[in-house]
Structure 1
Amino acid sequence: MFNKTTRGILTALILSATAMPVAAETIVREVEVTADMDALQNAEAAERWTHLADDLENEIVANLVGMTGEEGAKVLIDIDEVELANSFQSAMGVADSRLVGDVAVTHDSDNTKFDAYKLTVTFEQAGPFFLPGTDLTAITTDSQEYYDGMIAAFADYVVQKLK
């Protein structure tokens, strides 16, 4: 059985633990995505993914509601064109496809906001981002649904990592 002092100490510990600040979201001032589509040797991939850099950048910014500001982190993403081309090879099925990029987060004044990682989003991970009722067995790597789902999934993972 706890005495008054023990109960008081426990209450103080619980209150202080709940009052501790939670890690703040990263405020973002700029997002830049690069993808060298001229480097793609696969013409089908190059045609379908022509606007990848702009579309991914716009999707990330759209997901950053309430997390942008004049001062903040810069998010740089470089898409791996070789992996993108490989995802379009005929021997590889849509289930094995992936979108891969190097993500770097920099900040001019806050050293705690630096990060760098390689992000790989697979078709399976993009599943929740397809419209409800989408027949995932009918999707091909050259379909608009595939493109939209992969972009949405990649953007979501980048933004979730910033939170």
Structure 2
Amino acid sequence: MSRHREYFSTHTFGILPDRYIRDLGALEKSEFVDGITGVLEVWRRIIEGAEDLLYGLVLQLGSDYTELAFSKIREKQIETKYILPKNATVGKRYFDLDRKYKANELIAKGLLERRITAKVDVALVINERQACVMFPTANGTTDFNSTFYGEESEFYDWCMDYFQYRWNTAMRYDKSKFRALQ
């Protein structure tokens, strides 16, 4: 963690349970990506690189990344799970894309599962080989201008374990709570 000391002087661990804070040394095995352009490229790389699974613990679903993920699920028949906060903001085309890509069929086939949670402050995007994690700033807002990204097993396992923990504590999906951007 010493090489990320400056970063964590302006960021917090959010609602991470102690066991994940104790294991944050796994971040040493990741690459720090700074800047929104770099973060968006990491997300695209993870989504496009998905062959077997795609998991997300995110605050929002932008239309471009939602469409990219839906097309990937259809094309590759990959297992996809995502968790959103119960008051998530979604891109204005989200509900149209949900219908276009027949999300209900994907759910029936077991390819798509969705849940909601009270709060997301530590965000994740994961495929079967790569992961990234974003932490909140001192004011509690998730920082999408920087991410830790990697493929090394210790870092990847930390991200996957935290996703599974959040998945197991999340609630049934209810899109009626979401706000669509206009």
Bin of the TM-score, shorter chain as denominator length = under 0.3
Normalising by the residue count of structure 1, what TM-score does the alignment of the two structures yield?
0.22
Normalising by the residue count of structure 2, what TM-score does the alignment of the two structures yield?
0.21
Point out which structure has higher relative CO (alpha carbons under 8 A, 6+ apart).
2
The structure that is helix-richer by fraction is 1
